Amino acid sequence: MPREAEPSLNERAFVVQALQEGLRLDGRAFDQFRGLDLKFGDHYGVADVTLGKTRVLANVSAEVTAPYIDRPFDGIFTITTELSPMASPAFEVNRPTETEVLLSRLLEKTVRRSNALDTESLCLIAGQKCWSIRVDLHVLSHDGNLIDGSCLAVVAALRHFRRPDTSIEGETLTVYTPAEREPVPLSWLHSPFCITFSFYGEEGEIMLLDATLLEEQLRVSSCIISLNKHGEICQIAKLGGTPVEAVSLIQCASAALTKGKELSTLLDQKLAEDSKRRDKGGLLAELSAENER
């Protein structure tokens, strides 16, 4: 199984020395994100996030199915991540690497366990029928900071998604196609975002946001903080690595809050733009009785 090429000793020394002098390889500030772009697809529920050279695509789909036996009042919500060799030669299909396991666990904790999506609203007939929402995450290109990009893509896709409308008369459940009835958005409670901090130096005293792949390979430890714009932390994960002063981590948390609010405004803005775009030529226009003449 091929491994990622490790940075050479020269590269390693150069990058670390530059960081100690306050310089980053691509000239960014230590707490600056790369160019972040968020695009929505034509179908509802497709979100494409570009973070520098990292590109992630999230796709949401829904189907009606039976709920879990031990949770008859909840719908089913799953996030699947599969890293394919398209993103990096180190990834193999069906062989989860450590990166993949961590990514899927982080998304699970950030989006699923924090109840960003109200699963009770997905229930149709208790114990028999419910919606199963499935988010498929595809990593198209890996240049560092998969986690932040993936989380944003997942949240954006879920907020963008519209599921078919349903109605229940007595025992029969009717699911309407988009042509019959306008699809409805999901019941969304809060929007969590992940921010990854990378640490460098003997004591982990240098802190970077949004590391590129090269910077990721050279870091001595990392901390991923997920929170929403209200300042609620959904999860923190500093999984080993060089020990870092507790004070630094507290500072990270407040930095994360600022960044999270920025991401939240960005997402709201993009969603508004997209719905305006759809409205212009979309179904809503057709539904109206006005015509152009």
Partner 1 sequence: MPLDTSTYDLALLRVDGRRWNELRRLDGQIRTQAAADGSSYLEMGNTKVMCVVSGPSEDKRRGQTSASTATGSNAADVAVSVVVAGFSSVDRKKRGRGDKRIQELQTTISKALASNLHTHLYPRSTISISLNVLSQDGSLLAALINASTLALIDAGIPMTDYLVACTAGSTSSYAANDDRADPLVDLNNQEEQELPFLTMATLGATDKVAVLVCESRVQVSRLEGMMAAAADACKGVRDFLDQVIREKGHKMVTEGTIEKGASMAIEIDA
User: Where in 253-292 is the site for partner 1 (CB under 8 A)?
Assistant: 253-254, 257
The tokens of 284 are what? 């809503």
Nearest CA to 128 out of 62, 63, 64 is that of 64
DSSP class per residue in 51-112:
ETTEEEEEEEEEEEEPPPTT-TT--EEEEEEE--TTT-TT-BTTB--HHHHHHHHHHIIIII
Residue 9 CB, nearest distance to partner 1 (Å)? Answer: 10
- Cβ proximity to partner 1: between 38 and 137 the closer is 137
Looking up tokens 């990096």, which residue turns up?
A: 88
**Which of positions 63-122 make contact with partner 1 (CB under 8 A)?**
90, 97-98, 101-102, 104-105, 108-109, 113-114
Residue 234 interacts with partner 1 (CB under 8 A): yes or no: yes
Half-sphere exposure of 82 (CA within 13 A, CB side): 10
Instruction: Mention every residue, 6+ apart, whose C-beta is less than 8 A from residue 70.
Output: none
Q: Does 127 bind partner 1 (CB under 8 A)?
A: no
Taking the complex as a whole, how short is the minimal distance between the CB of residue 192 and partner 1, in angstroms?
Answer: 9
CB of 166 to partner 1, least distance (A): 30
Nearer to partner 1 (CB atom), residue 105 or residue 278: 105
Closest CA to 115 of 49, 47, 188, 66: 188
Q: Which amino acid is at 28?
A: R
Residues 236-255 that bind partner 1 (CB under 8 A): 236-247, 249-250, 253-254
Residue number, 11 or 165, with CB nearest to partner 1: 11
Question: Would you say 6 and 217 are in contact if contact means Cβ atoms under 8 Å apart?
Answer: yes
Least distance from partner 1 to the Cβ atom of residue 268, Å? 21
Q: Which stretch binds partner 1 (CB under 8 A): 60-68, 216-224, 261-269, 273-281?
A: 216-224
Whichever of 23 and 101 has its CB closer to partner 1, that residue is 101
Smaller CB separation from partner 1, 13 or 168: 13
**Which C-beta is closer to partner 1: that of 231 or that of 282?**
231
Give the torsion sign (CA, 134, 135, 138, 143): negative
| Residue 4 touches partner 1, criterion: CB under 8 A | yes
Give the separation between CA 155 and CA 45, rounded to whole angstroms: 10
Stretch binding partner 1 (CB under 8 A), from 25-33, 53-61, 143-151, 213-221:
213-221
Q: Which of 63, 232, 268, 279 touches partner 1 by CB under 8 A? A: 232
Residue 205 in contact with partner 1, rule: CB under 8 A: no
Q: Which stretch binds partner 1 (CB under 8 A): 118-126, 143-151, 158-166, 227-235?
A: 227-235
Residue 29 C-beta: closest distance to partner 1, Å: 23
The residue among 163, 147, 155, 224 whose CA lies nearest residue 189 is 155
For residue 72, with 0-12 CB atoms within 10 Å meaning exposed, 13-18 middle and 19 or more buried, which class applies? middle
Q: Which residues are CB-contacts of 282 (< 8 A; sequence separation ≥ 6)?
A: none
Interface residues toward partner 1, by CB under 8 A:
1, 3-4, 6, 12, 90, 97-98, 101-102, 104-105, 108-109, 113-114, 203, 217-221, 223, 227, 231-247, 249-250, 253-254, 257
